[in-house]
Structure 1
Amino acid sequence: MKQLTLTILLTYLFVSVYSQQHSQIQNVENRKTTSLNGEWKVILDQYETGYYNYRYEPTDQTLNSKTNNNAFFNDYKQQRPDELVEYDYDLSESLNVPGSWNSQDERYFYYEGTFWYRKKFDYNKSKDDNRVFVHFGATNYESHIYLNGNKLGTHVGGFTPHNYEITDYLKESGNSLVVKVDNKRKLEAVPTVNTDWFNYGGITRDVTLIETEETFIREYVIQLEKGSLNTVKGHIQLDGIKLKQSIQVNIPELSISQNFKTDIKGLALVDFKLKNAILWSPNNPKLYDVQIVVNDQILKEKIGFRSIETKGADILLNGKSVFLRGISIHEENGERGGGDRAYSRDDAFMILGRAKELNCNFVRLAHYPHNENMIRVAEELGIMVWEEIPVYWTIHWENKDTYENALNQLTNMIIRDRNRANVIIWSMANETPVSEPRTKFLINLIGETRRLDDTRLISAALEKHTISEEPLTMVVEDPFSENVDVLSFNEYVGWYDGLPEKCDRVNWEIKINKPVIISEFGGGAKFGFHGNKNERWTEEFQEDLYKRSVKMLNKIPSLRGMTPWILSDFRSPRRVHPVLQEGFNRKGVTSEKGEKKLAFYVLQEFYNQKEEEFDNK
């Protein structure tokens, strides 16, 4: 218990210092909130004139920062005709939030750089001593946030939530919230400059004001203890000035009412038994109404309880072996303005509905933390989830700041989603080349992950290799495989490695006694392009590749799941063929609009067979 307490406190200290933000507030949707979504005024600032002076010094770090009329974060309006003010939000154009600038105006389609966003709002607190925070679901990639000229903080990372207290700067009317968002790719960033997805820039998820009591429930974990089907362990963390409190956890449907005391740090350790609880599973995604009560505050949440572990080659959900019938997904809605980040519950239902049609019970959310609506809707629909951070291909393994960046993104993802029963795998990376610094980097991330949450499985999408003297024998030779719970790897036999017929001749030697998930396989096809199965890019070629691939992979004795690449076609500037790709990665089993390719039905039939096979075990 002492180790758990120390870990929690160190976690929050790290997040606060590195991100220059207030520690993350969980469960935003069930708090008192006000949406700031909608039209925001914007200024494109390619040379970052509104942030740096002519000597390239940040103006928000100078003594006269609040009186610098040409610093864009001050949102200054010309007061006299002779004043020199070189910007004006009120006269500038508008963009919708959430949303990227790339998708809303064709002039900015490939723009990478800085945009300034400004939102004006009024706000009256319901109680004088209440506190108010502004919460961003995500901003891509580096963001500086200001309210009424006061800098609230900086956030690095394009896919994780961040929030800031604004209580001391808030006015009843005429508040100006300004956000500098910069999506330039950088060598030392996570991900680095080289990816295979579109770099949507802007405020891409919800912006919300959260009003709380002076002392409030900031964060909590209420989940089954690792290896148990009836013991709940976790913690509740208060934030404020009255940290020693009595806390009650109620689950009315189970007639549970448990009382706990917080310590001087506001931390209460949770430990109680479940009786006659229905465990969450894809066949019955049961969620219980849970109440956390402090004084007159009641924070409501829906929580499912389940156990996930491995035994030899098996993945055990609630003690029963399961096969993960999965698909990889990018966070993209191809039907919105030709393509943009998915962010809403409607987006989630649309995307996950396609996965359900495939008979999926599992999705891999690649290659970064997706929006919270995806996680929660998947939980409601009975879909298990693999989440990962954008440690992708190769990054600066020996750069301390790069590691802290990756760890911060990992920490924010875990804190946000560790009460979600459907999240069963935390993934550390995708297709990273083997080296000693890389392996050390990833092992350190695993150590931090297990300290934050030891109840879930850990994996990474590794790469397959061939034996030089036996080129048709495939293996995974990666020292990092010793540290994961589930051995996962990407393979493209028949697409990047030979033609589909090669699948018929390949042998797999997997000597590690762990469950195997094929995290990627597949090939491209343009929807509606038909021809011979030997003609690349046709639906028939992709269909043949899928038929041979599932037959080949199904021979691996320890195979316990797969997430083929990918559910739907998605935008990628790497894909430049003017007719067949048109700026899209075409490996989807559906088009970006959800139109089903022939391979969709091959995978659907295979998953129907695997469901019957494992249901009858």
Structure 2
Amino acid sequence: MTTTSRRTALRLGTAFTALLGLGGTAAAQEPPLLPVSPVTALRPDILMTGAINRDGVDLSGDWTYSKDLYQTGKTDILGWAAAPRAQRFRDVNVEAEEGKNKYTFFEYDMDRGPHMTLPGAWNAAEPELRYYDGLIWFQRFFESGPLNGQRAFLRFEAVNYLTEVYVNGQKVGSHEGGFTPFTFEVTKVLREGKNQITLGVDSTHGEHTVPPKVTDWDIYGGVTRPIRLIRTPATYIDDFYIRYTEAGRILATVQLNGPDAAGKPVVLTIAALKLKATATTDISGQAQFDLKAPKALKLWTPDAPTLYEAGLTAGEDTLTDRMGFRTIAVKGMQVLLNGQPVFLRGICLHEEEFGSNPARRIMTETARALLTEVKTGLNGNFVRLSHYPHSEVTTRLCDEMGLLVWSEIPVYWAVGFGDAKTFDVARRMMTENVLRDRNRASIIIWSVGNETPSTPARNHFMGTLADDARAMDPSRLISAALLVHKKKVDGVLEATIDDPLVAKLDIMSANTYTAWYGNDRLEDVPPQRWKAPVSKPLIFSEFGADALAGYHPDDRRKYSEEFQADFYRATLANADTVPFLAGLSPWILKDFQTPRREHPVYQKGWNRKGLLSETGVRKQAFAVLSDYYRAKAGK
């Protein structure tokens, strides 16, 4: 084995060490646990909570681009600084410069490059980019008037994966992570009139990234969610967190950003409830509210998703948001919504719109099409947004439509649990996810990861993420999709949840594919027994079987609609035998793209476990689950 392989095994932990056959004791091979900085240190300098509700200049539309697989726009040979002739971010008119001197030459021209519509993953833009994985530069121009004492910010809802941002040739910031928002102030680099914005977007994943290089979904590189130029007063409302408690109180925390943030009156209003209150910020610019909820308040539920418009005013800045109020808790083996037991009738969902060439371009209408199939088609009340934070458009629609949400960060499979950089990236992702969406009533679960092997390094890594989420938002539940140990006892399968991470979780969650992966058969599924060492509720966070829509062989074999339907019947029969089961989120609503799935007849680059085809055709198992949920809901 090479030195690199040994180093990788040590970084990933003892489970992978054993897999690679290195031998030795766990104590000798397990890396030391990573130090933990305070979660407050992970908070972005600029948060811009509720930015989706602020006025701004939408930079969606036509951009030029330039492929840069060898990253010559960043570095030249031997790691030297990139040659000026290759620096795509320069504030220069290449054609004009070439016209001045016949000896002048460039190896790029962003102005005369090919065009792409953003937002939208580059994989769907051109056939040659379908599996492109690397660096692409994007550029466009926009107009800006005088600021007149205001501040200006560029807000990115999501770019995958590593992004560098330049305005008028000057770097304004960089961000790592493909699914959470980030904001850079550009007040000092904007000029009145025409401005140039250039993005260097690198989709490459490796040993330090979250998720890791190998996943079971598509690359989707590029700018996948909107970019806007936002102006604010010099002191503005940067963050707010409003929630309802079991004691019947409305709590709010507001954070101002700017030179006059301290000692500033902040007014909170909810007009429909005739609620108005004022608090003054402390020296750090933070104001706190603790108010008795009016008797007229209607709590948010999936059947009655009541939303209220809350308004905030601080000096010259005003901000509004629509939100619901509810409580979520665990008691014994039950999940309680507003103090009442609720069974989570759910499904998993990847962020991929219907169609044969999806670009992860999630607008209101595309998100509503997906969520309507969950809410009314499947009679569902719950959706697991897998395996990363989905668009804010989606989470806000869940508020509106009445769907409970599991929100997850892409700590997935074999990320570098012993690697300090990976640890930092994951913690920042969790921070950005929670701080973006903790005002959404629909979100009830923060998930710290999916299908990860239990090692001391992993347990420390994911346990810290659980602690971080709980510190930032104690009003929600914590879970993770766990691996399960199975064995036969007296001829009956026994599934045991013995993961030490359970101690950090409010809800146990298990991915179970009995009779799809492995040698078990459908008849083994209904009598399967489930065991857990603690009294906590369990969610079947995944189960499913591939089926090609329209494939109906006589023998009901794998990949047929009939086998998938039989698989669902068997697994749902097993679910009915588990006394501590509190919900289901089968895998998955619709077929989705993944380079891992390459059977030339049935898959062709698609994971076929969807209850719907990629174009929205319902398979037989859709009705099986819909009928089951209808009965569960008492309809």
Structure 1 length normalisation: TM-score?
0.93
**Comparing 338-347 with 419-428, which one deviates more in the overlay?**
338-347
Please name the residue that 2:233 is paired with: 213
Please name the residue that 2:174 is paired with: 154
Please name the residue that 2:49 is paired with: 26
Q: 1:49 aligns with which of 64, 69, 72?
A: 72
Please name the residue that 1:385 is paired with: 405
For residues 401 and 290 of structure 1, do their structure 2 counterparts lie closer, same or farther at Cα, with a shift above 3 Å needed? same
Q: 2:161 aligns with which of 108, 124, 141?
A: 141
Is 1:371 matched with 2:391?
A: yes
Please name the residue that 1:98 is paired with: 119
For residues 58 and 567 of structure 1, do their structure 2 counterparts lie closer, same or farther at Cα, with a shift above 3 Å needed? farther
Letter in 2 for 1:205: R
Please name the residue that 1:587 is paired with: 609
Q: What is the CA-CA distance between 1:338 and the residue it aligns to?
A: 1.4
Partner Cα separation in structure 1 for residue 72 and residue 446 of structure 2: 40
Please name the residue that 2:9 is paired with: none
Q: What is the CA-CA distance between 1:11 and the residue it aligns to?
A: 5.0
Partner Cα separation in structure 1 for residue 64 and residue 317 of structure 2: 36
Is 1:263 matched with 2:282?
A: yes
Please name the residue that 2:132 is paired with: 111
Partner Cα separation in structure 2 for residue 313 and residue 469 of structure 1: 25
Partner Cα separation in structure 2 for residue 202 and residue 414 of structure 1: 23
Superposed CA offset, 1:179-217 (max 9, x none) = 000001211211111100001111111011111010000
Partner Cα separation in structure 1 for residue 398 and residue 609 of structure 2: 23
Is 1:547 matched with 2:569?
A: yes
Superposed CA offset, 1:456-475 (max 9, x none) = 00000001212465561111
Q: 1:124 aligns with which of 142, 145, 152?
A: 145
Partner Cα separation in structure 2 for residue 342 and residue 363 of structure 1: 19
Please name the residue that 1:175 is paired with: 195
Unaligned runs of 5+ in 2: 1-36
Contact 1:70–1:76 (CA<8 Å) still a contact in 2?
Answer: no
Contact 1:234–1:270 (CA<8 Å) still a contact in 2?
Answer: yes
Q: 1:241 aligns with which of 247, 259, 266?
A: 259
Q: What is the CA-CA distance between 1:51 and the residue it aligns to?
A: 1.3
SS in 1 for 2:398: helix
Letter in 2 for 1:25: M
Query: Once superposed, which parts of structure 1, at least 4 consecutive aligned residues long, lie more than 6 Å away?
Result: none
Q: 1:347 aligns with which of 352, 355, 366?
A: 366
**Comparing 497-506 with 381-390, which one deviates more in the overlay?**
497-506
Please name the residue that 1:36 is paired with: 59
Contact 2:251–2:289 (CA<8 Å) still a contact in 1?
Answer: yes
Partner Cα separation in structure 2 for residue 459 and residue 196 of structure 1: 21
Contact 1:354–1:594 (CA<8 Å) still a contact in 2?
Answer: no
Aligned runs of 1:518-533 on 2, under 5 Å? 518-532=540-554
Q: 1:321 aligns with which of 332, 336, 341?
A: 341
**Comparing 321-330 with 348-357, which one deviates more in the overlay?**
348-357
Is 1:491 matched with 2:512?
A: yes
SS in 1 for 2:532: coil
Superposed CA offset, 1:580-610 (max 9, x none) = 0010000001101111000000000000111
Contact 1:533–1:544 (CA<8 Å) still a contact in 2?
Answer: no
Partner Cα separation in structure 1 for residue 580 and residue 39 of structure 2: 36
Please name the residue that 2:8 is paired with: none
SS in 2 for 1:433: coil
Letter in 2 for 1:89: M
Q: What is the CA-CA distance between 1:399 and the residue it aligns to?
A: 0.7
Q: What is the CA-CA distance between 1:14 and the residue it aligns to?
A: 2.5
Contact 1:525–1:536 (CA<8 Å) still a contact in 2?
Answer: yes
Q: 1:74 aligns with which of 64, 73, 90?
A: 90
Is 1:447 matched with 2:467?
A: yes
Contact 1:532–1:540 (CA<8 Å) still a contact in 2?
Answer: no
Superposed CA offset, 1:67-107 (max 9, x none) = x3531111422322332222111211011100111101001
Contact 1:140–1:182 (CA<8 Å) still a contact in 2?
Answer: yes
Q: 1:503 aligns with which of 511, 525, 536?
A: 525
Is 1:305 matched with 2:340?
A: no
Contact 2:67–2:135 (CA<8 Å) still a contact in 1?
Answer: yes
Please name the residue that 1:223 is paired with: 243
Letter in 1 for 2:444: I
Q: What is the CA-CA distance between 1:54 and the residue it aligns to?
A: 2.7
Q: 1:514 aligns with which of 526, 536, 543?
A: 536
SS in 1 for 2:510: strand
Q: What is the CA-CA distance between 1:296 and the residue it aligns to?
A: 3.8
For residues 58 and 302 of structure 1, do their structure 2 counterparts lie closer, same or farther at Cα, with a shift above 3 Å needed? farther
Please name the residue that 2:428 is paired with: 408
**Comparing 70-79 with 313-322, which one deviates more in the overlay?**
70-79
SS in 1 for 2:395: helix
Partner Cα separation in structure 2 for residue 75 and residue 129 of structure 1: 25
SS in 2 for 1:346: helix
Contact 2:543–2:586 (CA<8 Å) still a contact in 1?
Answer: yes
Quick one: percent identity of the two aligned structures? 37
Please name the residue that 1:558 is paired with: 580
Superposed CA offset, 1:485-521 (max 9, x none) = 0111100011114222211332222342111110000
Please name the residue that 1:62 is paired with: none
Partner Cα separation in structure 2 for residue 469 and residue 603 of structure 1: 29
Is 1:474 matched with 2:495?
A: yes
Letter in 2 for 1:560: A
Q: What is the CA-CA distance between 1:347 and the residue it aligns to?
A: 1.5
Number of equivalent positions: 589
Partner Cα separation in structure 1 for residue 501 and residue 579 of structure 2: 21
Letter in 1 for 2:568: Y
SS in 1 for 2:188: helix
Partner Cα separation in structure 2 for residue 442 and residue 50 of structure 1: 36
SS in 1 for 2:602: coil
Letter in 2 for 1:343: I
Q: What is the CA-CA distance between 1:10 and the residue it aligns to?
A: 6.3
For residues 154 and 58 of structure 1, do their structure 2 counterparts lie closer, same or farther at Cα, with a shift above 3 Å needed? farther
Superposed CA offset, 1:220-277 (max 9, x none) = 101113x33x212231000110012000100111111111010111111221111121
SS in 1 for 2:330: strand
Partner Cα separation in structure 2 for residue 517 and residue 48 of structure 1: 44
Q: What is the CA-CA distance between 1:57 and the residue it aligns to?
A: 3.3
Q: What is the CA-CA distance between 1:430 and the residue it aligns to?
A: 0.3
Letter in 1 for 2:550: G
